[in-house]
Amino acid sequence: MTFSEDQLIVWLQQYFWVFVRMGGVMAIAPVLGARSVAPPIRILLALLLTLLVAPLLPEPAKVELFGASWLVALAQQLLIGVSAGFVLLLVFEATVLGAELISYSMGLGFAQLADPLRGVTTPVLGTFLTIVTTLLFIALGGHLLLIETMVRSFHTLPVGSVGFDARALVMLLQFGSIVFIGGLQLALPVVIALLVVNLAMGVISRSAPTLNLFAVGFPMTLIAGLVLIHAGLPALLDGVTTLFDDAWLILDQVLRTP
């Protein structure tokens, strides 16, 4: 059995383009591409997905190796993969921002921990909500849905096509506001309730000037914040789920852009 050079090049490119797009996802996507996951593991996972997905996809357009069109196609595949992971990463960043707003309101802004998923330091509450969001993402099958979405993207945005247009890029940029809008929506109920607690402590301090406000106010604010978080955790999870739904909707629209 013999194979021509053209056949070998087509087979090589069929697996190569899938590996590049999947590698872009693994480089930035939450959970699968977290900083706590070693780069060799990400590469092996991208390679495993490539071996499973590539035979099921149609034959890609032939692109001249290492030419200008090849470099453009390479940049397109990386952009598609990174954009898919970036959209979901914004939901996690919105959760962290909401946790930081709550932490500063309840006096926990000074308590910082190293976040292994993001590679930075965040308040204790931010690390807690990041873990909760990660578990919610896995429980909802987000990692499987992400892989399914990337497989479908090879049919809607095949290799050698135009790729992202200006409208898709504008949609991605506009969705970046979800970090601030979503974070504020998640934190606003608890922040408003803590504001009422702080106002009550202010009234108490005016009524009893000899009262040590720092000795009484800080524990009261901290306890009130923990109680509010416990009571509002179901609503908080519903808010995070809504953010994920918006992310999947935007991702589906972007990857279906001709």
The reported pLDDT for the residue numbered 120 is 64
Given this model, what pLDDT does residue 161 score? 64
Average pLDDT value for the chain: 79
Q: Which carries the bigger pLDDT value, residue 163 or residue 234?
A: 234
DSSP annotation string for 23-85: HHHHHH-TTTT-TTS-HHHHHHHHHHHHHHHGGGSPPPPP--TTSHHHHHHHHHHHHHHHHHH
Q: Highest mean pLDDT: which of 64-78, 192-206, 228-242?
A: 228-242
Write down the pLDDT at residue 163: 64
Is the pLDDT reported for residue 112 higher than 70? no
The closest alpha carbon to 150, from 28, 252, 48, 44, belongs to: 252
Q: Tens digit of pLDDT for each residue in 18-56?
A: 888 888 888 888 877 777 777 788 888 888 888 888 777
pLDDT of res. 255: 79
Locate 240 and state its tokens. Answer: 């995070």
pLDDT number for residue 6: 59
pLDDT greater than 80 at residue 60 = no
Is 80 exceeded by the pLDDT of residue 108? Answer: no
Predicted pLDDT at 100: 85
Percent of the chain residues past pLDDT 70, beyond the cut: 80
CB-CB contact of 201 with 213 (8 Å):
yes
DSSP, res 112: E
Q: Which residue has the higher pLDDT, 112 or 140?
A: 140
- Residues 237-248 have pLDDT tens digits of 888 899 888 888
Please count the other Cβ atoms lying within 10 Å of the Cβ belonging to residue 170: 10
Q: Among all chains, which residue has been given the structure tokens 């001709």?
A: 258
Can you give the residue range of the structural domain that contains 112? 5-255
Give the global pTM: 0.81
Report, as an integer, the average pLDDT of 224-230. 83
pLDDT for res 11:
67
The residue ranking higher by pLDDT, 211 or 106, is 106
Query: Cβ distance 134 to 31 under 8 Å?
Result: yes
Does residue 216 have a pLDDT over 80?
A: no
Number of domains in the chain: 1
CA distances (Å), 39 to each of 42, 55, 214, in order? 5, 25, 47
